[in-house]
Amino acid sequence: MAACYTLKIVTDFASAHTLREYPGACARMHGHNWKVETEVRASSLDKMGMGVDFKVIKQATRDIAAKLDHRYLNDLEPFTDINPTAENIAAYFYQELSAQLNNESIRVHAVTLWETERACVRYAEDES
């Protein structure tokens, strides 16, 4: 059986959004204190015994969060064209992180985006 290490970091950011065509209060501008969990899988360890340094995952996630922090998401790409739902924001993080972190031994496995303390979405892509 092949080795698999799952590393996870958590960070946060605050932003506002409007859900276009939503039949309720979320159609009006409102904000969230989002929490982002990034999970990365490593298939091997380096000579120090690490799959990837946590600080690498943290920095990449924080860099993306910084682009959204204290912003109105509807004004930012890709949310000018797609609704800035929790689902779409989680997919955005996953795609951006994958472009930065994925290599022959590590891959972004999932991103969980918490909209509130009691509501989150987890985005992952089928590896088959």
Catalytic residues, by residue number, are: 26, 70, 115
3-state DSSP assignment of residue 95 = helix
Please, are residues 124 and 94 in contact by the beta-carbon 8 Å criterion? yes
Check the CA dihedral 80-58-8-48 and report its sign: positive
> Where are any strands of DSSP class E within 5-100?
5-17, 30-42, 71-72
32 assigned to a ligand binding site: yes
Backbone phi, psi, residue 79, to 5°: -80, 0
Residue 90 corresponds to which amino acid? A
Residue 73: C-alpha distances to residues 32, 52, 81, 96 (Å): 11, 30, 11, 16
What residues are designated binding site for Zn(2+)? 17, 30, 32
Which residues are annotated binding-site positions?
Answer: 17, 30, 32
